[in-house]
Chain A
Amino acid sequence: MDSDLFTYQPASPLQASRQGALAGTQILVQPDLSVKDWLTDAGSRALAGFHAVMDATTVARAKTAGACLTGSTHMAELGLGINGNTMAGALSAGYGRVGLVTDLLGEARMSACLAGWYGFKPSYGLVSRFGLVGLVPSMECTGFIAPNPAEIAAALEAVAGPDENDFSMPAASPQPIGPVAASENGANRIGMPRQIREYLPASAIEAVDAALGRMAQAEFDAGFDIQETDLPGFDLFSAAHQVIASVEASSSCGKYDGVRYGCRAEDGRDWNEMYINSRSQAFGTQIKSFLFQGAYFQFENYTDFENACILRRKLVSRLDDLFEATPLLALPVRLPHAEPERAETIEETYTAFGLTLPANLAGLPALCIPAVARDGETDLGLQLIGPRLSDAQVLTAGQRIYTRIQGDGNK
């Protein structure tokens, strides 16, 4: 086992079926997604030594579709951010064709961007979270990394859809995917919020404008109509996300009691001490800080949490209005100066994911397109974001761009 990259690597790849839509596709997961008998510690001592007792729904469905599971790669503790995340490296090293990365701040898109691959966060509620360790239930979603949108669509198609074990999913959700055709064409309007410009240095704005310009140009032949749009209070997404996510994390981490799984502190004369000491050892400092922030809102200022949810509604409805005019929204994935893979505090992590987390707060599908928006050496990545459940349209648009880029390169 390459322990620099892997938390768990089976002796031979796990393949349950040789037939199906994903027949033979090598898939990498992270150890927050249950694969029966695999070490599933979500990168945390809170689950030290935990071996999953059953498959997550996504895993079971991928196996049924013929996929071949090659291992689980290291991840940031409980999936917050990508510090320590080795998915990009394992994909680049050829260990898998598709990577599944839980996306609660933008982790899947960011990992894809770093690997130069396509990364996708589906609409909230489209993919079952049953068997996912999870941290922020109302935001997180299994994301996909693959060399092109068509392969993402195929994997999504195989695992998406209602799951009676996931109580947060509607009993019947639409099946919007279907094969993403490269040939599909049509004029799409893409909007870019002007407020982003306050966020980015001049060189980054140039890079994004250039990328969007290419898409609009006839010579690029993608036929997109680029417009500047208005999204007031763009910086509030991060604040609302952090308040809500920290509360949800504080709440969902209550289960790490050191009784049913995870680490148990040796000392502790009574129940309370057992909890306090075990949980002191269970969490790393960054997650612990996050949980304390959540506990502060949860126990001492619950109205802050409610206000953040009010803000969430306002922001979601602003996005809805925006999609009336332009069915797709474009944003870079990363800030040129931020280093998400090295972020060590909550503040650094939230700063690094400031451009990806709006899609999580609003539950929207978002695709990271690599290698079109370069600021010098840095690939900023370009996100295409659509209304909820427009996953197929977003991936189709992405596949068109992918095809043009490939064609471009072949010229």
Chain B
Amino acid sequence: MDMTFHDRSMCGHMGASHVGRQVVLAGWVDALRDHGEVLFIHLRDQSGIVQVVFSPECTEKSVCEQAGQLRNEFCVRITGRVVDRTPGTENPHIVTGDVEVNASDLTILSQSETPPFTISEKSMLAGAPVRQDQAVAEDLRLQYRYLDLRRPSMQRQLFKRHAIIRAIRNFLDEQGFIEVETPMLTRSTPEGARDYIVPSRHHPRSFYALPQSPQLFKQLLMVGGVERYYQIVRCFRDEDLRPNRQPEFTQLDLEAAFIDEEFVYRVFEELVARMFAVGGIDLPRPFVRMTWTDAMNTAGSDRPDLRFGMTFVDATDIFTDTNYAIFRQIMERGGCIKGINVKGQSGNLSKNILQNEYAKEIVPGFGARGMTWMRVADAGLESNIVQFFSETEQKRILERFGAETGDVILMIADASWHLVCTALGQLRLHLARRLELIPEGVYKPLWITNFPLFEATDTGVTSSHHPFTMPDQTDFDPTDTDALLDLKSRAYDLVINGEETGGGSIRINDRRLQDKIFQALDLTEEDVAEKFGFFLQALEYGAPPHGGMALGLDRITAMILSAPSIREVIAFPKNRSAFCPLTQAPAPVSREQLAELELLDIKDDAPLPGAGRQKDPVASLSWVSRIGIEDAEREEIRTAVAQAKTLAERVNREASQNTGESAEPLFSVLPASNRFRPGTTARISELSENKRLLENAPAVKGGYFKVASVLGQ
């Protein structure tokens, strides 16, 4: 009797209730164990793994022989009978470990090459350790992503991601939101990052932009009377490379009319709680709310991590009349002094670590000039500068910081409040990580509110979020820079464990108010009309009050699933260099394609900013070959490059002359005949093992070459 896929059972469902039944299974060979006469395989499909046995007792000889050809990742269909395992041979590593399938028939549906890395994650033997993720190079995984996705752990990520998105859709559907799609081919929106642009063939030399977010379209939907909109949407931003950033990413984008902040908080607290529940995480509610100013003052960040303490203590007033010269100068310049108490850590923070690592290296890296440290001993404060503090000052420090023996008090002082906060905030995080003060499995969501509406620039102000954000008051003078900088916005960010997971605002729906904002931003009417004239026109037709929010789905999913990077929760991500090893994108296109788009020989009369410098061939060569030039040698190098060009003209002329000789380039007079020497095996150099290779290095640390960081501070 030939069974087909209609009767297929799933491997992961096999259990005691199937015992005695004939089943058809289909999937991939996860692992094999050959005992001569008897062959065991782990058969894997989307649901899980079950052990299949080929033995002369229950399998025909021809089937056993065919099974002998099986290798890892062959795709097969197997017919067999489910039986209980012999007591003592159960496998606790797999759900179906109490049963196995005695094969009676086998069809090899598709053979597999040897995979470039191990896909199996389950041991076939009870006592053997469960296989851990091997250290497979990520680019190799991404190049063979279709194999990587077969791994049960990757399958789980995709299933959970699906479940999280389904939870979103279910909830928003309950709340009366509808999902509306907005265009992918659009024009540049004012989000501030670079656009990915798409040339148009029908409108030569004009370009669409891929959306950085559907910001303007969702506001237009509000004007269009779609009162409750959401979308699971792909967004594109051509930003600088960061390890955990993707050029395209998925957002939950939401907007609603006739609402205020409380509506957004209510919807999103429930929504985010349901998303985390998919991962078995119960979020504490209601979410804490904190103004931006408070966040800066207590944790030095607009996305504070509240899973641990060490919040800031202000000590400015203690030192109003200090004799300590450094503090006094800072006080005279209107500065401030803040500190943290690292409770009970003086055993882990020696004088050497505090002075030579933190005060000299780490804290200056955060932008502060210095750090003051004090260890709290039984006899009082211990420090290299404590003798400069009066007894009153010392006593007030101990009181203010609630200091006890064994604590370490760290203070940063500077004329700039902002600098004190941000530097101390980074120090707080650095210490928490170093001292392992951040608890696992704890989630602290909070709303950050009342952001500054504007930030100062060299010439005036710029929007902190985007120019459509509603200010907290509307009767301001758009020409008074100081007053503008005091304005707060009706924007809010959702921060979880120190990560910004989403944000949004109540928007401006009044054309006159919007004009005032543009005036404050010093945008001319022409600029405004050119950039978003179509949108402003819509505001003139009875736009309702509205607001909304966007949530970064990749990041929040990675957090819910405790994935080490967002690439683990995206089926086909780009690598850290925004490159796709699987498809090799981005890639050059043919000249024909460019010609069709009329993109060959684009010449524009308007010079680009900085183009003059770019055109200096020596400057670009200096960059690509990573060789700096001293001023004194620039002229000689220019001459040499010019000479090289002349030389090349001669060479090109002669090489292209048809002299009847071979025109095959000769790279070496000796053919490279033996790059690969058969019979030799890779070995670790003796010079590496005895560390002699390190002897000539200008800087070595802990048995490694020491280099500058890849990204600057």
A residues contacting B by CB (< 8 A) are 49-51, 53-54, 124-125, 137-138, 164, 167-171, 233, 236, 239-240, 242-243, 246, 250, 258-264, 268-277, 279-281, 283, 285, 288-293, 295-297, 299-301, 303-304, 306-314, 316-318, 345-347, 362-363, 388
Within the complex, the shortest CB–CB distance from A173 to chain B, in Å, comes to 9
Q: Which of B235-243, B322-330, B507-515, B629-637 contacts A (4 or more CB under 8 A)?
A: B629-637
- Cβ 8 A contact of A313, one of B620, B622, B664: B664
Question: Which B residue sits closest to A347, measured CB to CB?
Answer: B643
Known contacts A167-B675, A274-B708, A313-B661; can you find 15 more A-B pairs with CB under 8 A? A49-B696, A53-B692, A246-B644, A259-B705, A270-B713, A273-B708, A276-B623, A279-B626, A289-B636, A289-B637, A301-B648, A304-B648, A308-B655, A311-B651, A313-B663
Q: Is B665 an interface residue (CB 8 A)?
A: yes
Taking A51-B696, A288-B633 as contacts, is the C-beta distance between A270 and B669 under 8 angstroms? no
- Cβ 8 A contact of B626, one of A170, A276, A296: A276
Contact string against A for B residues 698-713, beta-carbon threshold 8 Å, 1 for contact and 0 otherwise: 1100000101111111
Q: Which 5 pairs from chain A and chain B are nearest by CB?
A: A280-B628, A309-B665, A363-B669, A289-B640, A270-B712
B residues contacting A by CB (< 8 A) are 617-618, 620-630, 632-633, 636-637, 639-641, 643-645, 647-648, 650-652, 654-656, 659, 661-670, 672-675, 677, 680, 687, 692-693, 695-699, 705, 707-713
Q: Does the CB pair A269–B713 fall under 8 Å? A: yes
The secondary-structure label for the interface of chain B is loop
Q: Which residues of chain A have C-beta atoms less than 8 A from B695's C-beta? A: 51, 53
Taking A124-B669, A167-B674, A290-B640 as contacts, is the C-beta distance between A299 and B651 under 8 angstroms? no
Pick from B622, B636, B655, B712 the residue with the most CB of A within 10 Å.
B655
Q: Does the CB pair A285–B637 fall under 8 Å? A: yes
Q: Does the CB pair A54–B687 fall under 8 Å? A: yes
Pick from B630, B645, B654, B692 the residue with the most CB of A within 10 Å.
B654
Q: Does the CB pair B705–A271 fall under 8 Å? A: no
Pick from A261, A274, A295 the residue with the most CB of B within 10 Å.
A295
Alpha-carbon separation in the docked complex, A59 to B318 (Å) = 72
Q: Does the CB pair B670–A363 fall under 8 Å? A: yes
Q: Does the CB pair A124–B670 fall under 8 Å? A: yes
Q: Does the CB pair B707–A274 fall under 8 Å? A: yes
Question: Which B residue sits closest to A256, measured CB to CB?
Answer: B627
- Cβ 8 A contact of A311, one of B655, B669, B707: B655
Q: Which residues of chain A have C-beta atoms less than 8 A from B626's C-beta? A: 272, 275-276, 279
- Cβ 8 A contact of A258, one of B629, B687, B698: B698
Taking A292-B621, A314-B659, A314-B661 as contacts, is the C-beta distance between A138 and B669 under 8 angstroms? yes
Q: Does the CB pair A303–B652 fall under 8 Å? A: yes
Q: Which residues of chain B have C-beta atoms less than 8 A from A289's C-beta? A: 633, 636-637, 639-641
Q: Which residues of chain B have C-beta atoms less than 8 A from A363's C-beta? A: 669-670
Q: Does the CB pair B665–A306 fall under 8 Å? A: yes
Taking A170-B673, A270-B711 as contacts, is the C-beta distance between A291 and B661 under 8 angstroms? no
Q: Does the CB pair B659–A170 fall under 8 Å? A: no
Q: Does the CB pair A259–B707 fall under 8 Å? A: yes
Q: Does the CB pair B668–A168 fall under 8 Å? A: yes
Q: Which residues of chain B have C-beta atoms less than 8 A from A307's C-beta? A: 648, 651-652, 655-656, 665
Within the complex, the shortest CB–CB distance from A242 to chain B, in Å, comes to 6
Q: Which residues of chain A have C-beta atoms less than 8 A from B651's C-beta? A: 236, 239-240, 243, 304, 307-308, 311
Q: Does the CB pair A296–B621 fall under 8 Å? A: yes
A-B contact pairs, 27 of them (CB 8 A): A167-B672, A170-B673, A236-B654, A239-B647, A239-B654, A270-B709, A270-B713, A271-B710, A276-B622, A276-B627, A276-B628, A279-B626, A279-B627, A283-B627, A289-B640, A289-B641, A292-B618, A295-B621, A300-B621, A304-B652, A307-B665, A313-B665, A317-B662, A318-B661, A346-B643, A363-B670, A388-B669
Q: Which residues of chain B have C-beta atoms less than 8 A from A275's C-beta? A: 626
Q: Does the CB pair A280–B696 fall under 8 Å? A: no
Q: Which residues of chain B have C-beta atoms less than 8 A from A306's C-beta? A: 665
Taking A285-B633, A308-B655 as contacts, is the C-beta distance between A296 and B670 under 8 angstroms? no
Q: Which residues of chain B have C-beta atoms less than 8 A from A260's C-beta? A: 693, 696-697, 705
Q: Does the CB pair A292–B640 fall under 8 Å? A: yes
Q: Which residues of chain A have C-beta atoms less than 8 A from B622's C-beta? A: 276, 292
Alpha-carbon separation in the docked complex, A406 to B662 (Å) = 45
Q: Does the CB pair A273–B633 fall under 8 Å? A: no
Within the complex, the shortest CB–CB distance from B322 to chain A, in Å, comes to 34
